[in-house]
Structure 1
Amino acid sequence: MMVTFLLTFAVFVLVIFAMSLGWLIKRKSIQGSCGGIASLGLEKVCDCPEPCDARKKRMAREAQRQQNRIL
């Protein structure tokens, strides 16, 4: 049982090290290969016609902050 755990741990460490080679060598972070949501033509993650209530509250708070900064 312990051998399986140690072997699995070693494999995970090797995989993480292999993924970090790009950063170690080029100082470039890991990136996705598909281009993200923008490549699908979506402006936001859910692509809902109207934002949810939590999003509306955040937008109102941000608008209030912007207005307070102007004044």
Structure 2
Amino acid sequence: MSTFIAAFAVLMLFFLLMSVGYLIRKKVVQGSCGGLGALGIEKACDCDEPCDRRKAREAAKAEREEKLNKHRII
């Protein structure tokens, strides 16, 4: 049980330090490797022509957004 309490205390200390760092610098936490941009990939799916599942997903998303915009009150 004492191991759990110590691990929890260390985790809370890291959260506290990260929040203080954010408040002082106003800089968000970010990775150091650069992600896909470091590899020269512009997007997650680097295909010229997306697959049928992706096309269907994008069409459904566009339809949902269109319905939301159509029935928006404000």
Question: What's the TM-score bracket when you normalise by the shorter of the two chains?
Answer: 0.5 to 0.7
Deviations 1:9-58 (A, max 9, x none): 00111112222233121222101112221121112225345434332113
Unmatched 5+ stretches in structure 1: none
Letter in 1 for 2:4: F
Unmatched 5+ stretches in structure 2: none
Query: TM-score, length-normalised on structure 2?
Result: 0.61
Relative to structure 1, the CA distance from residue 60 to residue 20 in structure 2 (aligned partners, 3 Å threshold; closer, same or farther) is same
Q: Does 1 or 2 have the higher relative contact order (CA < 8 Å, sep 6+)?
A: 1
Query: TM-score, length-normalised on structure 1?
Result: 0.62
Identity rate of aligned residues, in percent?
Answer: 53
- C-alpha RMSD of matched pairs (Å): 2.7
1:26 partnered with 2:25: yes
Relative to structure 1, the CA distance from residue 53 to residue 19 in structure 2 (aligned partners, 3 Å threshold; closer, same or farther) is farther
Number of equivalenced pairs:
65
